[in-house]
Amino acid sequence: MNDLELIQDTVKKILPLEDQWLVSSKKRLDSLTKPLGSLGRLEDLAQKICAIKRTIKPLLANKVIFTLAADHGITAEGVSAYPSEVTPQMVFNFLRGGAGINVLSRTVNAKVIVVDMGVAFDFPPSQGLVNLKIRMGTGNFAKGPAMSREEAATAIASGIGLVEKEMKNGIDIAGTGDMGIGNTTSSSAITSVMTGKTVSQVTGQGTGIEAKALSHKILVIEKALELHKPDSTDPIGVLSKVGGFEIGGLVGVILGAAKNKIPVMLDGFISGAAALIAVSLAPAVKDYLIAAHRSAEPGHDAMLKHLELSPLLDLKMRLGEGTGAALGMGLAEAACKILNEMATFEEASVSGKKEPATGRV
């Protein structure tokens, strides 16, 4: 299969959820020793994971976060607070275990898979780094397309391949993560196209630019969208025109996970941009997505609304790398353990609710 055929084949195999698992998992939750529904959104999360995994006793033994890195030609326009050299520097930091994603993954016992999707640096071969480099960073999309359609398809296919390969070790839940100086600019452009919001509504400070630089960033994106006129019904076209290699890779990770009935714990703004593209390619993907947190990036809300997702956490985080996904996985594991480990009213000989008719409801 070539890249496009692999994408089409994967999309075809993504099945919508079946209501029966929502019903049977609700029944199990209601049998457990707690007031009905008293674990709130943790119960909703448990139900969703049951429906995705087609079981009422899901285990999240293998938690895997895919942290994909790439560089962005658009940084030449001065849109980021940090220089591009930070992308490879942070990749080395990931490999040594000193970055935020390493620390937070360890707290929830998740594995981090670090992937070079297109960093502008020639890494020496390293055991910890997966090399799927497409090119030394995207083109500057203020002047031309970020990548060719073929490269966009390759990025997505590479992400699918990442998941398929890791299936041999087992994946019970997949997290998305990113590293790439300049990638909030690309993600804002994608969000504007896919949600119909104006650029200024969905563009924020990224790693920390000031007000004046933010106006400049908005202008750069507006001009680029005028230049490329991306078509929201052609997601691969949008990705090629204003996307990034790591964003394309994450589109593939999301599609690959959904095809394999694996819940996807979405990190923040960059992961959300990938999800917008993935859902446009395969609407059924939406059922497999869990929003770990609400990013501090203002455009994230428009994404979440478009994806019909309500985030689990709202901690004003905006680091990326998959850090929010790691925290979300801790909650997902707690939700699953409830189903697996809590005693039922019957097992524990605990009395149920009083009859409402007694007035003592």
For residues 211-230, which are near its own copies according to CB under 8 A? 212-213, 216
Point out the catalytic residue in the list 321, 333, 346, 355. 321
| Residue 80 Cβ vs its own copies, minimum distance, rounded to whole Å | 7
Q: Binding marks (x or -) toward its own copies, 18..47, rule CB under 8 A?
A: --------------xxxxxxxxxxx-----
List, as one string, the DSSP characters of 80-121: -SS-TTHHHHHHHHHHHT-SHHHHHHHHTT-EEEEEEEE-SS
Name, in order, each residue with C-beta under 8 angstroms of 321's C-beta and a sequence gap of 6 or more: 67, 90, 94, 99, 100, 101, 177, 178, 179, 267
| Residue 296 Cβ vs its own copies, minimum distance, rounded to whole Å | 6
| Residue 244 Cβ vs its own copies, minimum distance, rounded to whole Å | 18
Contact between 313 and its own copies per CB under 8 A: yes
User: Which of the stretches 166-174, 186-194, 272-280, 311-319 binds its own copies when contact is defined by CB under 8 A?
Assistant: 311-319
* Dist CA 188 CA 206 (whole Å): 10
Name, in order, each residue with C-beta under 8 angstroms of 111's C-beta and a sequence gap of 6 or more: 62, 63, 64, 65, 105
List beta partners, residue 32: 344
**Using CB under 8 A, which residues numbered 238 to 297 contact its own copies?**
296
Residue appearing with tokens 């956490």:
313
**Using CB under 8 A, which residues numbered 54 to 93 contact its own copies?**
78-83, 85-86, 89-90, 92-93
Closer to its own copies at the Cβ: 104 or 134? Answer: 104
Among 56, 117, 289, 327, binds its own copies (CB under 8 A): 327
Q: Token digits for 132?
A: 């799927």
The Cα-based distances of 149 to 162, 163, 235, 242 in angstroms read: 20, 22, 10, 11
Is the C-alpha dihedral spanning 249, 251, 257, 259 positive or negative? Answer: negative
- Is 321 one of the catalytic residues? yes
Query: What burial letters (b/e) apply to 325-359, b meaning 16+ CB within 10 Å?
Result: bbbbbbbbbebbebbeebeeeeeeeeeeeeeeeee
| Residue 271 Cβ vs its own copies, minimum distance, rounded to whole Å | 15
SS3 content of the chain, % helix, strand, coil (to 5): 50, 10, 40
**Using CB under 8 A, which residues numbered 341 to 360 contact its own copies?**
341-343, 347-354, 356, 358-360
| Residue 158 Cβ vs its own copies, minimum distance, rounded to whole Å | 26
**Using CB under 8 A, which residues numbered 89 to 118 contact its own copies?**
89-90, 92-93, 96, 98-100, 102-104, 106-108
Closer to its own copies at the Cβ: 13 or 216? Answer: 216
| Residue 168 Cβ vs its own copies, minimum distance, rounded to whole Å | 27
Contact between 323 and its own copies per CB under 8 A: yes
Closer to its own copies at the Cβ: 152 or 209? Answer: 209
Q: Which residues are designated catalytic?
A: 321
